[in-house]
Amino acid sequence: MQPFMKSRTIKYTTVIVLTISLIIAAVPSLVCAYTLSGYSWDDVTPLKYKKDSGMSAASSTAWSSSVSDWQPSDANFQLDSSNYEVYLSDTYNSGIGWDGITVLTTSGTTILSASAYLNTYYTSSYAVTQRRSVSGHELGHVLGLDEHSGWVLMEPSTYNRWHLYYIYTPTQDDFNGVNSMY
Ligand SMILES: [Zn+2]
């Protein structure tokens, strides 16, 4: 499934927000806080999600781990395949530089739905915690967080976040960001 193609089918009254995880390294920052995207859900208790049954087992495991990782936040992910707001899947694209992407559909500042993907071109060769670092980062975008450079899960570069910092679960700063919205 192609996130960009999918996004183009959404009607024009909906704002599409793309947030990506970059493969390339960025300049690290030791300042820890959070950045909000400006978009948030009306209600995240619960926030219903579906996992694509066709994705790889490794991707599915990563999403499940990251859903659990975020549960201490004020958002409550709940599996509901028949009535969901969040769709979790993977895709294969060798022609792009991101290993994870989140597509939000919004109205005003309210998030109506979200689809998040791991790019298995990269993530199929990742270590388990590295893949989980990407899926957890993308769920941060699903919840309304923006990129934030530093020792946090919302650090945009997977190289920095995992190889340098070895972060693959939300930090207190990431939780603080989500809890500031809900
Ligand atoms: Zn990102």
Distance 25 CA to ligand 1 centre (A): 13
pTM of the model: 0.84
Distance 171 CA to ligand 1 centre (A): 15
Distance CA 140, CA 171 (A): 11
pLDDT of 6 reads 39
Distance CA 19, CA 41 (A): 16
Query: Region 81-86: what's the mean pLDDT?
Result: 97
Q: Is-contact 136 66, C-beta < 8 A?
A: yes
The residue among 117, 121, 129 whose CA lies nearest residue 96 is 121
Instruction: Give residue 23's pLDDT band: very low, low, confident or very high (50, 70, 90).
Output: low
Distance 174 CA to ligand 1 centre (A): 13
pLDDT surpassing 80 at residue 4:
no
pLDDT of 33 reads 84
For the chain, the 3-state helix, strand and coil shares in percent, each to the nearest 5, are 30, 25, 45
Q: Between these two residues, 15 and 137, which has the higher pLDDT value? A: 137
Q: Is-contact 85 53, C-beta < 8 A?
A: no
Distance 139 CA to ligand 1 centre (A): 9
pLDDT surpassing 80 at residue 165:
yes
Domains of the chain: residue spans and CATH? 3-22+29-168 (3.40.390)
